[in-house]
Structure 1
């Protein structure tokens, strides 16, 4: 495409973004002089595009209010941002009418995209899972995200350059099972061929990714979102905690979700959790934590019988909490409290 034509199209994209753009701003973005900007504006007007001239100190050019301009022109990053925004909106619990509007908008964007980009975005939407309602997410590298999504969809190995928590950069081959958005970050989970174990990697720590020849089969087992939550629950932290709690799966998960703790099968009874999730019985809960000070209050809030198997430090903290609560019922204020505590428990 000749450079003048490309600049005219760039001018059109700038005006489509909304608001009034000054001549100086447009000239700087296009790398031309002010009189050239005016010539480009004239060319857009000749094509029937209503560009308005705004006079005054903050004047410049803008598109006529309410004007709708086909065709839609989006780059890969822009299309990715729009479709992910629509997807996150549906996940955020929009009303039925709004959800329908979001789906039709996504379909319209999908229809006008170049075929190769549409296929890659379809792969991403097929491969993506959420563990909860999304808030503000880190922005992933579009090329890395789309490459991983394509690898998930077609079950192709992918080579990653990954930087670990220790700052060491390694190259790994991953059999990617899925992409998961969780708690403001993006993750890919799969089989790490280097160590032949399941691993979960943060996308913001992946410098680049490229697909490799070959294929693989996804093993039976948890879906990608459950795999990521399980990875968090079993991460390497200072304390390894095992607690026996009497209750249903729902009662326990109310205070100890899958991202925090793992419910182990009761080996003594040989009963799998999924077979008796609503039954009240003793269940083994395992988790890892850097600190223990938050756990006593969580265990107390469950209002279920429990027994601490390890560590001993947690027993001491629970006993200390019980003593404090007992002192409150006797009307004894803690030694560090100040001021009037009347009416507070």
Structure 2
């Protein structure tokens, strides 16, 4: 924090301690001259802090009676960044203990901002819209989240009580590698010592946590986000889809929904003599429904082969025929 700002905050704390503070006394406490003290007072007045000047032999400065909460010392850009972060988190469904947490936090910030800045941010909030639909938040206990992230940072093993999707309860001892936010949910990727395997846990299904003594070393090159997305993409679902797509693995992965597909480069072409011998990738997906995949495959704009299931091949052909019929249909409108 720049020294002048730090001194202004110190001045505010001195005034909040109560009573009348002389200019000379404030200058001595802050290590500046009296002229600088008056400049700092003007800065507080610009921030709508009710500093009163008391004249007379024992005069000086004091805060207006009843004033308790200091203003939030944020620039316009800083306040905008905080508010946009809260709005985006709420929109993405990334809330913790209570779904209204971001709303109450934004309201508290607004209350302690100067009136000029608060009014401008209100205008921004009222005018801002999003093109994407709001995320469906799955609330997680903030105590669990904070305890786990602390264990991740300090590499401490933890014991958790976990409820699986099928309702089964279990006690697990894990080495927590990282916490990942994805699609409105919080996930923990960890080494599950109880099962002797790496696992992914949803934080909203962790009902208790206890930090254990000792420490651990995470694997080299650890990427918690990649681990969670891979775990989600390989979880058991109704349909197992296998494709071969001609193109670069990074480009293919970027065009598919995160957490749905596992893309691996092949060392050779798929063996079809009718296709060019270029780089091909194997794509595995686990999905509950197939009806949305044909449009996604069409949007790839890359040659592909469907290895399984046959139902997907039928849906792709039906989409192609529907598009062809629509393109050939003559317009009946006027003009």
Of 309, 313, 316 in structure 2, the residue corresponding to residue 315 of structure 1 is 313
1:224 positional shift: 0.9
RMSD, matched Cα: 3.3
In the aligned structure 2, how far is the partner of 1:88 from the partner of 1:196? Answer: 42
Of 304, 315, 318 in structure 2, the residue corresponding to residue 306 of structure 1 is 304
1:143 positional shift: 2.0
In the aligned structure 2, how far is the partner of 1:281 from the partner of 1:258? Answer: 22
Q: Which structure has the larger Rg? A: 2
Aligned residues: 213
Whether 1:50 and 2:65 are equivalent positions in the alignment is yes
In the aligned structure 1, how far is the partner of 2:234 from the partner of 2:307? Answer: 17
Mind listing any 5+ residue stretches in structure 1 that lack a counterpart?
1-46, 52-66, 73-84, 94-133, 270-279, 333-340
- Given that 2:249 and 2:264 are in contact with CA atoms closer than 8 Å, whether structure 1 keeps it comes out as no
- Given that 1:147 and 1:209 are in contact with CA atoms closer than 8 Å, whether structure 2 keeps it comes out as yes
In the aligned structure 1, how far is the partner of 2:69 from the partner of 2:182? Answer: 36
Structure 2 CA distance for partners of 1:136 and 1:172, relative to 1, 3 Å: same
Structure 2 CA distance for partners of 1:226 and 1:219, relative to 1, 3 Å: same
Structure 2 CA distance for partners of 1:266 and 1:90, relative to 1, 3 Å: farther
Structure 2 CA distance for partners of 1:141 and 1:239, relative to 1, 3 Å: same
- Given that 1:179 and 1:224 are in contact with CA atoms closer than 8 Å, whether structure 2 keeps it comes out as yes
Partner of 1:151: 151
**Cα distance per residue 1:275-326 (max 9 Å; x no partner):** xxxxx72111111001111111110111111001111111111111122222
**Cα distance per residue 1:206-244 (max 9 Å; x no partner):** 111011122222113441111111111111101111111
- Given that 2:162 and 2:171 are in contact with CA atoms closer than 8 Å, whether structure 1 keeps it comes out as yes
Alignment of 1:265-280 (within 5 A): 265-268=265-268
Secondary structure of the residue aligned to 1:179 is strand
1:255 positional shift: 3.0
Of 326, 336, 340 in structure 1, the residue corresponding to residue 324 of structure 2 is 326
1:266 positional shift: 1.8
- Given that 1:251 and 1:302 are in contact with CA atoms closer than 8 Å, whether structure 2 keeps it comes out as no
Partner of 2:85: 89
Secondary structure of the residue aligned to 1:145 is helix
1:145 positional shift: 1.5
- Given that 2:151 and 2:158 are in contact with CA atoms closer than 8 Å, whether structure 1 keeps it comes out as yes
1:258 positional shift: 3.3
TM-score (norm 1): 0.55
Structure 2 CA distance for partners of 1:261 and 1:177, relative to 1, 3 Å: same
- Given that 1:230 and 1:258 are in contact with CA atoms closer than 8 Å, whether structure 2 keeps it comes out as no
Whether 1:283 and 2:298 are equivalent positions in the alignment is no
Secondary structure of the residue aligned to 2:255 is coil
In the aligned structure 1, how far is the partner of 2:222 from the partner of 2:249? Answer: 17
1:259 positional shift: 1.7
In the aligned structure 2, how far is the partner of 1:196 from the partner of 1:293? Answer: 37
Whether 1:191 and 2:187 are equivalent positions in the alignment is no
Whether 1:234 and 2:234 are equivalent positions in the alignment is yes
Partner of 1:257: 257
1:330 positional shift: 2.8
In the aligned structure 2, how far is the partner of 1:200 from the partner of 1:241? Answer: 22
**Cα distance per residue 1:37-84 (max 9 Å; x no partner):** xxxxxxxxxx97734xxxxxxxxxxxxxxx453699xxxxxxxxxxxx
In the aligned structure 1, how far is the partner of 2:195 from the partner of 2:328? Answer: 57
In the aligned structure 2, how far is the partner of 1:182 from the partner of 1:87? Answer: 21
Secondary structure of the residue aligned to 1:328 is helix
- Given that 2:236 and 2:286 are in contact with CA atoms closer than 8 Å, whether structure 1 keeps it comes out as yes
In the aligned structure 1, how far is the partner of 2:161 from the partner of 2:83? Answer: 28
Alignment of 1:23-34 (within 5 A): none
